[in-house]
Amino acid sequence: MDEPVLRVRGITKRFPGVLANDHIDLELRRGEVLAMLGENGAGKSTLMNIIYGLYTQDEGEIYINGRQVEIRNPEDAIRCGIGMVHQHFMLVPVLTVAENLMLGMEHVRGYFFLDKERTIREIEALSKQYGLEVDPRATVEDLPVGAQQRAEIIKVLYRGAEILILDEPTAVLTPQEADDLFMVVRSLTEQGKSIIFITHKLREVMEIADRIVVLRGGKLVGTTTPAETSRAELANMMVGREVLLQVEKEPAAPGEMVLAVRDLRVLDDREHPAVNGVTLEVRAGEVLGVAGVQGNGQRELVEALTGLRKVTGGQVQLLGHDTTHAAPRQVIEIGTAHVPEDRHKHGLVLAYPVEDDLVLCTYYLPPFTRSFNLQPYAIETNAVNLVDAFDIRTPTVATPASSLSGGNQQKVIVAREFSRNVKLLIAAQPTRGIDVGSIEFIHKNIIAQRDAGVAVLLVSAELDEIMALSDRIAVIYKGEIIDTVPAETATREQLGLLMAGVHEAEAGD
Amino acid sequence: MTTETDASRGAESKLGLFSRRVFISILSIVLSLVIGGAIIALSGGDPIDGYLGLWRGAFGKEKAVVETIVKTTPFIFAGLAVAVGFRGGLFNIGVEGQLFVGSICALIAGYAVELPPGIHAAFALLMGALGGAVWAAIPGYLKARTGAHEVITTIMTNYIALRVINWSISQNGPLRLPGSALPETRRVLDSARLPSLTDTTPPLHIGVVIVIVAVFFVYWLLWRTPLGFEIRTVGLNPSAARYAGIKVERTIVLTMVISGALAGLGGAVQVLGLLGYFTTGFNVGLGFDSIAVAMLGSNHPFGVAAGALLFGVMDAGMKTMQLRTQVPRDIVVIIQGLILLFVAAPLLIQPLFRLRQVGEGEQVSISATWGGEG
Amino acid sequence: MNRVHRLFACTLLLALVLTLGGPALAQDECTVKIGLVTDVGRLNDQSFNESAWKGIQAAAEQLGLGEECYNYIETQDTADYIPNIELFIDEGYNVIITSGYLMTSATREAGLLYPDVYFIGTDQDQTTTVMVQLAGAAEETAVFVYDPIPNVAGLVFDESVAGFLAGALAGQMTESNVIAGVYGTDIVPPVPRFGMGYEQGAKYVNPDVEVKAAYHPGTPDVAFVDAQWGSETAQTMLNEGADVIFAAGGTTGNGGLIAGCTAGYPVIGVDFDQYYTVTEVQSCIITSATKDLVNGVRDLILAVADDTFVGGNVFGPAGLAPFHDWEEKIPDEVKAKVEEIKGMIAAGEIETCPVDDEKYGAACIMSGLGRGLPDAAMVMSDYCSACHDAERIETNVAQGLDWWTTTLETMMSQDGGPELTADDVKVILQYVHQ
Amino acid sequence: MLDANFFTALLSLSLVKATPLVLGAMSGILCERSGIINIGIEGMMLMSAFAGFLGAVFSDSLWVGVLVGVLTGAVMGAFLALLSIRYKVDQIIGGTVINLLAVGITSYFAVIIIDNQSLSGIGVLPIIQIPLLADIPVIGPILFRNQPITFMMLILVFVLHVALFYTPWGLRTRAVGEHPRAADTVGIRVNRMRYLDTTLGGMMAGLAGAFITLESVGSFESGVMTNGRGFIALAVMVSGNWRPINALIIAYIFGVSDALGVRLQLGDVNQLATLLIVAGLGMLIGGALWALTKYLGRRDENKVPVTQIALAVAGLVMVLAPAIVEIPETNIPFQFLGLPPYILTIIIVAGLVGNVRPPAAEGKVYEKQ
């Protein structure tokens, strides 16, 4: 076996308060797919950003084909043949695919004019070679997510990358698109490219990887191959203790109807249809999980139900009230709690002290307001109680929300929404990007709300979370609920097919 | 690990942030005065004598103190108007126009209606505030309804207000004092004049008391009422405000209305308290200074009052300074610019005086994107 | 510390060193202490503020006064007129010059408040406004009565004479028979007086000439300092065929002069001989319509020094500046014609400012000139002697303005009483008040 | 009298009035396309007008003055960038600081340098007439008989348009303004790009300043010189959707309404009739052009651009109206004649802002980590 294409030795990186990478050694051989597995916050992205030159390591060296290299910025990385496909695409939405690709290394015609034609020809050649068809003239923001990712990959190849780093590529794809990606990965490795595949999804690792390394808390905790290990063992290495995959909960006892949605139609920000005739019901004391890949209309559905987005068709009944065109305040006052998908945009005012964020929806009601006057003491005591009850790690109640960790910020939102006596709880991506401890805490609270008779509508892209918490699971695909299945009998494969829009009957394999 | 969550620690950190900001403001003022002195010296003037003149002009004699206070009053009203705007996430540059419209409305209410003394003055003040409020509601409504950025629309309302008022007091304009060859309006009836505490010119009118009440009112409104909470929430994060059920559009218009009312009230006080009529060249140039005052006071009512006093002292003192030292009075505008620079860029002065690293919270930020709601 | 902070540190040091070494203020004796309070605007606006200051400097030179015996304050806000005047008086100044028409009432008010201080107001017609209820009139009309105050002198000029002569010159020099006037604001009467004179003068020598005129739309504090508007307005008129530009209105006017000259046309300046102040138009400025403010102010200050100061309106000379570079270019018969007109105006044969012009006629009426007013004796005899005998009238003359205003009003209100016009009332009151 | 001479005079004055607005708008475009909000255009113009004037007087050459003005603009632009990038000052406050300092410094030193030594200007840049082209009846004098900076403005509009959309520098500037992280990952130095673009933006504002003192007025008047043009330029930039050619068109509309205000004041024309005709012409040409671009744009969709054609027809009717029906003489006070540009700004900004799109990452400091 010749020299490894890429070797890193003793890579260490400290951020204020956390040791992101702790003396990591790693090797990547030519034509190999190395899967890098690890929890959110385990240091995967930090390591890759160091290799790609976005961050500079505090200690350690990087070797390309046996030769040590200094990578201070992405330009050095590109010169060493390293290319990175980011989780949030590094494409400029308003520019065309061709413009995005030639950004930074433009072909020039006549001293200073861009040579767009030549670039387009080169892109078409590359996409044929690796089976990545995408229209170079299209503007990026008009392309579907899958096509944008293909454009990102071509962008890396266009720069002559030998080593490709794919950072959580399947997070935004349907299972089918994921399979197409795996085919592309195989064709790339056959043509001599080497790939580092970052993910926290166990199933993918088993299917695509030649070798697997696992990171936890910034340290390399193990190297293995799919053949030598099992998903349970990988999960254990990832989390370092027995993962409570299954939340203990008794079977649900659905009560009276709380939310009834008939043939709901909603448009997205660019006036295209996002929700095309959704019909669903949620009863008291029941968790209805809405599974589906991001971008299939979940965000618009949730915003429509909570009054944040105009409804263009259909009807919404909440506890007997017609809330189809209700304003957000009306929906809240009827008795709805809403854990928003984007906690920084909707959930919190980051500049506010924690105590003000905790009364964001109820500031105008007693005890917080009496005869047109805010009661600072009442707001403060309410905050102190909630901070204890929901174990929010904050120095004081006056500390701005911006200085809390992601998990604690989410707990502030949960504390605010769960402490109000509500009949309906809508939770969108409640545990995205937060530490494991907080995830378990929030899941327990959701189940507690359900057992207390609250109707819960859970929208999440994490299939495991949906399967763990839901009593019934509705799968949404291109703005329609194509099927609703009881949670106990649902299997991952079945849900995977549904999420890709393939009905049980048609599958018939 | 356990965390103490007692309330006292919360208050102390709030105080910590406040005293730091006051320290930065004082530091900025001192540094600007020193650099101003250097400029005076470089251009042949005598800084010590100049600043002595400034001090004597502002506080030298009883009459000077009165003039300083009277000059500070409109700065406070205008500064409060801009500060309320900033708190609501709106950059209201139209304060000058709103102030003029307030003056005119108070003037008309002052001579066109007969009422018993106390009530007439109150009525005229109310009309002034109403005038400013309505004039500010236009850019507010446009921002809420079409997203048209208020920086541009408020400036345009300034020019429109100035031009129309200029016509109204021109040769054959409706408000012109009949038969007068000067561009002056009719006189306000005595029953509408604000009583004066001293007989000096300019009179120390009770407008000064009204403005102090206004400062406390704005503090109470912003931090002690639900409406204030809504205004501040919309200002910091409109999406979260919408999520919390706050009617963002209504709040934007209300913020501009309150801001305009404060400016209008300021205009009314000037007409009813100071001159008793309106003429050209009256209260010119308040617009931009009020923005500097608001920023200097980091958009907090008490901060604005202090910032306004600083501008009032400079305005009152600059005449005597120029009298005694032949230093052009524009040095004061340079000093005001420098003070705003150092207050807005603590990083600039931080290494000079080994301040602790400037925290995120302290940067005053209002940069909203231009187009429709982001 | 990186480069920027070292820069700040050394500015700091420099400032500290300098501020410690400043000299103390010197106090010494001045025979006369002169203070100039400018109108809202800059001292150096190349118009009435600046000419007042030049007049003070000339007087100070003649009286051998030191620098600290005369000073100026630039008013920023109309509310500061009186406070600024009082600031000077508190500092011991005994001669206060206020510049510009807008300060008329403030100067007179101060004059009454401080009788032992001398006030000189440029372009300030010394009148009081009396509100008289004329017979059959809905509202009271204002009547301006000439009312001099002993320690207040108004340095006024009949600008329409200078304007007339400039118009006569322009009327003859134009080839396209279209001439233009770019003016400051019509709110300040001296400006429309120049404009009316210019139009009358041009039409007098060249009946079918077209005179384009534009007044600045802004308020006085802007109208005299907007050179951009002046130059663009002049350019518009030039594009429409005008070939002589007369510009009257501080730097706004200067903008017009520069625009005219750049396009290669003859221009006419105003106030003082602008050949020396707007040097970039020396090649095309054929003359300036002058009103000698500088010497006017100087003479009044000297009058204070040798105790010959008299209150009321003081008329300064108004005429044309020399032709400088255009001395040969202007044909002799044109010069002769202008000289002839000058003589006829002096003899009163030409009316340089039509009182009845509906737009700007009011500006022509100046109390000192009595222009356009009926003759006092004739009015008295027509109306009063009808029912009262002469000597009873004589005895009541000393009653003063208010008594006469009320009696006139009562007489007019009785039916069959005299039908007096505003001018008649004005003449009577003026005669009585003398 | 409404004849060809009237329209040529009016439309050529409009171009003169539009020049500082377009240059100011381009200054805004350069800064904001790279991600720095610049509301200090007013202050940059004032400072460069002052420095340019001094440069011209002391060097006794107008062109050296223009150069000094442009360089001052560059320094001011760099100062704004330094404040925004290195010292993380909120960009709107940074702009306000620049405006305040500019007014203070120019007024202070104007008194010290210009007034005390009674300096006077050295005239304005000469009017250049392009031989053949200027003789074309109406268009000739408007486009081909102008002063140098007006010509430079017209050239710069097209140069900037081509540079922004057809050159590597333009592509990188737009990327830095829209998605700085993406630009960083392909090796573009984001902050260095922003320093460069803001400095270039400052130079545009510098040229606008030089126009005011060295081409239009010929003297420096402290305080009131720019009187709000910097902010109208902002409105032009926003409603022109950050595109140079749109900015030229909208600025020209302002120019016409501004020039009309001055022209109607001369009083020898029927004011209402002129207003109708000029507005009608604007709508006719505007509607036609807009319809053309819409039609060419979507050849496949056969949707007829109805609204644009209606606009053009309405314009035609207004132009012909005065010939048909007798329009009464009016005497609108000249203060009102000055109002159209300001009212127009509000209508345009309120009307268009719905579908304009600012650079996404504008106003945000770019941090590596």
Task: Please provide the distance, in angstroms rounded to a whole number, between the alpha carbons at the two ends of chain D.
Answer: 67
Predicted pLDDT at D1:
59
Tokens in use for A14? 């400290």
The distance from CA B77 to its chain's CA centroid, rounded to whole angstroms, is 5
Q: What is the pLDDT of residues C280-336, one digit of tens each?
A: 788 889 999 888 888 889 999 988 888 888 888 888 888 888 888 888 888 888 889
Predicted pLDDT at D210:
92
Residue ranges for chain A with pLDDT beneath 70 = 1-2, 16-17, 40-41, 174-175, 239-247, 433, 436, 500-501, 503-509
Q: What is the pLDDT of residues C101-148, one digit of tens each?
A: 888 888 988 998 899 999 999 888 888 777 777 766 777 777 777 788
B367 vs D234: CB contact, 8 Å cut-off?
no
The distance from CA D74 to its chain's CA centroid, rounded to whole angstroms, is 18
Whether residue A18 lies within 8 A of chain D, CB to CB, comes out as: no
Contacts of B236 in chain A (CB under 8 A): 349-352
Mean pLDDT (whole number) for C20-47: 65
3-state secondary structure of C323: coil
Cβ atoms D161, D25 nearer than 8 A: no
Q: How far is A275 from chain B (nearest CA, A)?
A: 20
A353 vs B10: CB contact, 8 Å cut-off?
yes
D118 vs C44: CB contact, 8 Å cut-off?
yes
Whether residue C226 lies within 8 A of chain D, CB to CB, comes out as: yes
Tokens in use for D239? 């409603």
Least confident stretch, A177-191, B1-15, B38-52, C340-354: B1-15
What is the DSSP code (8-state) at residue B58? I
Predicted pLDDT at B365:
53
Which of B13, B225, B245 faces A361 most closely, judged by CB atoms? B245
Token pair 């509000």: residue: D346
Parallel/antiparallel/unpaired status of strands A480-486 and A472-477:
antiparallel
For residue B288, being part of any structural domain is answered with yes
Contacts of B282 in chain C (CB under 8 A): 77-79
B337 vs D100: CB contact, 8 Å cut-off?
yes
Name the percent of chain C lying above pLDDT 70: 83
Predicted pLDDT at B353:
62
Q: State the number of CA atoms in the 13 A half-sphere of B236 facing the CB.
A: 23
For residue B365, being part of any structural domain is answered with no
Chain A segment 31-90 residues within 8 A of D by beta carbon are 52, 54-55, 73-75, 78, 84, 86, 89-90
Q: What is the pLDDT of residues D184-223, one digit of tens each?
A: 888 888 999 999 999 999 999 999 999 988 888 777 876 5
Cβ atoms C276, D299 nearer than 8 A: no
Extended beta strands in C116-238, E state: 118-122, 127-132, 141-146, 152-156, 178-183, 210-215
Cβ atoms C172, C337 nearer than 8 A: yes
Given a contact as 3+ CB pairs under 8 Å, which chains touch C? Answer: B, D
What are phi and psi for residue B280, nearest 5 degrees? -70, 160
Cβ atoms C115, C151 nearer than 8 A: yes
CA distances from B158 to A68, B139, B153, B163, C194 (A): 65, 11, 9, 9, 32
Cβ atoms C214, C233 nearer than 8 A: yes
**pLDDT at residue B71 above 70?**
yes
CA distances from B189 to B105, B120, B374 (A): 14, 9, 50
User: Helices in A81-229 by DSSP H: which ranges?
Assistant: 97-102, 116-130, 145-158, 175-190, 202-208
CATH number at residue B327: 1.10.3470
Q: What is the pLDDT of residues D145-173, one digit of tens each?
A: 888 889 999 999 999 999 999 999 999 99
Which of C225, C236, C240 faces D221 most closely, judged by CB atoms? C225
**pLDDT at residue D301 above 80?**
no
Cα dihedral: D127, D130, D135, D138 (round 10) = -70
Q: Is the preceding omega at residue A367 within 30 degrees of 0, hence cis?
A: yes
Q: What is the pLDDT of residues C187-235, one digit of tens each?
A: 788 888 899 899 989 999 899 998 888 888 777 777 887 888 888 888 8
Nearest CA in chain B to D101: B337
What number of C-beta contacts closer than 8 Å exist between A and B? 99
ipTM beyond 0.90? no
pLDDT level of residue C367 (50, 70, 90 thresholds): low
Burial-class residue B20 by CB neighbours within 10 Å (0-12, 13-18, 19+): middle
Burial-class residue D12 by CB neighbours within 10 Å (0-12, 13-18, 19+): buried
Pick the CATH number of A257-507 from 2.40.50.140, 3.40.50.300, 3.30.365.10, 3.40.710.10: 3.40.50.300
Whole-structure pTM value: 0.82
- pLDDT averaged over chain A? 85
Q: Rounded to an integer, what distance in angstroms lies between the CA atom of residue C2 and that of residue A358?
A: 44
Tokens in use for B64? 């000077």
Tokens in use for C198? 């210019």
Does C touch A (3+ CB pairs < 8 Å)? no
Task: Give the architecture (CATH level 2) of A6-239.
Answer: 3-Layer(aba) Sandwich (3.40)
Which of B38, B281, B324 faces C25 most closely, judged by CB atoms? B324
pLDDT level of residue B263 (50, 70, 90 thresholds): very high
What number of C-beta contacts closer than 8 Å exist between C and D? 107
Least confident stretch, B274-278, D80-84, D266-270: D266-270
Q: Rounded to an integer, what distance in angstroms lies between the CA atom of residue A503 and that of residue A492?
A: 14
Whether residue C233 lies within 8 A of chain D, CB to CB, comes out as: yes
Parallel/antiparallel/unpaired status of strands C210-215 and C178-183:
parallel
Predicted pLDDT at B285:
67
Predicted pLDDT at A508:
45
Does B touch C (3+ CB pairs < 8 Å)? yes
CATH numbers and ranges of domains, chain C: 159-292+318-346 (3.40.50.2300), 361-432 (no CATH)
For residue B248, being part of any structural domain is answered with yes
Chain D segment 142-201 residues within 8 A of C by beta carbon are none
- CA proximity to A185, closest of A164, A168, A171, A214: A164
Cα dihedral: D92, D96, D98, D101 (round 10) = -160
Predicted pLDDT at B16:
65
3-state secondary structure of C316: coil
B247 vs A327: CB contact, 8 Å cut-off?
yes
Q: How far is B228 from chain A (nearest CA, A)?
A: 9
Extended beta strands in A252-348, E state: 257-267, 273-283, 287-291, 311-318, 321-322, 336-339
Given a contact as 3+ CB pairs under 8 Å, which chains touch D? Answer: A, B, C
Whether residue B315 lies within 8 A of chain C, CB to CB, comes out as: yes
Nearest CA in chain D to A104: D186
Q: How far is A360 from chain B (nearest CA, A)?
A: 6
Contacts of D105 in chain B (CB under 8 A): 334, 337
B243 vs A346: CB contact, 8 Å cut-off?
yes
Residue B336: which residues within 8 A CB-CB, separation 6 or more? B32, B289, B292, B311, B314, D100, D104
Chain B segment 268-297 residues within 8 A of C by beta carbon are 270, 274-275, 279-285
Cβ atoms C206, C243 nearer than 8 A: no
A113 vs D166: CB contact, 8 Å cut-off?
yes
Predicted pLDDT at B362:
44
- pLDDT averaged over chain C? 80
Number of domains present in the structure of chain B: 1
Least confident stretch, B166-170, B357-361, C262-266: B357-361
Q: Which residue has the higher pLDDT, D231 or B108?
A: B108
Angle between helices C227-239 and D4-33 (to 10 degrees): 140
Helix (H) or strand (E) holding A198: strand A194-199
Cβ atoms C205, C171 nearer than 8 A: yes
Q: Which domain holds residue B39?
A: 17-353
Predicted pLDDT at C425:
74
Which of D118, D123, D263 faces C280 most closely, judged by CB atoms? D123
The distance from CA C241 to its chain's CA centroid, rounded to whole angstroms, is 31
Phi-psi region of D267 (alpha: psi -120 to 50; beta: other; left: phi over 0): left
Contacts of C16 in chain B (CB under 8 A): 34
What is the DSSP code (8-state) at residue C189? T
Helix (H) or strand (E) holding A83: strand A82-85
Q: Which residue has the higher pLDDT, C50 or B241?
A: B241
Q: Which of B201, B272, B335 to mutate to test the interface with C (most CBs of C within 10 A)?
A: B201
Cβ atoms D293, D262 nearer than 8 A: no
pLDDT level of residue B359 (50, 70, 90 thresholds): very low
Tokens in use for C111? 């004059």
A92 vs D174: CB contact, 8 Å cut-off?
yes
User: Helices in C240-331 by DSSP H: which ranges?
Assistant: 250-262, 274-277, 293-305
Whether residue C26 lies within 8 A of chain B, CB to CB, comes out as: no
Considering chain A, tell me which residue range(s) the CATH 3.40.50.300 domain(s) occupy: 6-239, 257-507
Q: What is the pLDDT of residues B223-237, one digit of tens each?
A: 999 999 999 999 999
Cβ atoms A310, A473 nearer than 8 A: no
Nearest CA in chain B to C5: B352
Please give the angle made by the CA atoms of C293, C298 and C300, to the nearest 5 degrees. Answer: 95
Q: How far is C372 from chain D (nearest CA, A)?
A: 27
Q: Rounded to an integer, what distance in angstroms lies between the CA atom of residue D340 and that of residue D337?
A: 7
* DSSP per-residue string spanning B38-51: HHHHHTT--HHHHH
